[in-house]
Amino acid sequence: MANEVAAQMQPLDLLAPLGCHHYHNRDQDQWEVTLFAANTATVGGRCDGQITPSKFSVDLCELQGIFTDTKSVHWQSVSLGPGDQLGAHVSLEADYEGHSVWLRILAAAPPHIQAGRTANANTMQIEEDW
């Protein structure tokens, strides 16, 4: 399922590696799945130390086609504050192959996740970190 969802994340620049967190909420018998594109850390040059999120779009109609029995689709436009680890994201609750799923696609990687790639301005290379 995560690979099918990731295929709907259309890059608007060179997309960084994708991260996926999942958890089975046994109380609700629901899988919670969160996908996000890693940030890029710049090393060297005038932007040294800059952290940049990947730019991508998601066709929500195509995304819903992966699932059956969609219960809800939501968009949170900004972070709700310092305790909000998800920030801006799209959320979808539906079924996938008979399993209840709560999917979140984050606009940017959570703040506690290290950059997934490095743009080295000195060597003009992009290095995958995870």
Q: Which tens digit of pLDDT belongs to each residue from 66-106?
A: 999 999 999 999 999 988 989 999 999 999 999 999 999 99
Percent of the chain with pLDDT over 90: 92
E-state strands within the chain: 9-11, 18-25, 30-37, 39-43, 51-53, 56-58, 68-76, 89-96, 99-106, 117-120, 125-128
Residue 119: pLDDT band with limits 50, 70, 90: very high
pLDDT, tens digit, for every residue of 27-47?
999 999 999 999 999 999 999
Amino acid 83: pLDDT: 87
In degrees to the nearest 10, what's the CA dihedral of 24, 61, 80, 87? Answer: 70
Residue 2: pLDDT band with limits 50, 70, 90: very high
* Domain range annotation of the chain: 2-128
pLDDT, the chain, mean = 95
Residue with tokens 């192959």: 97
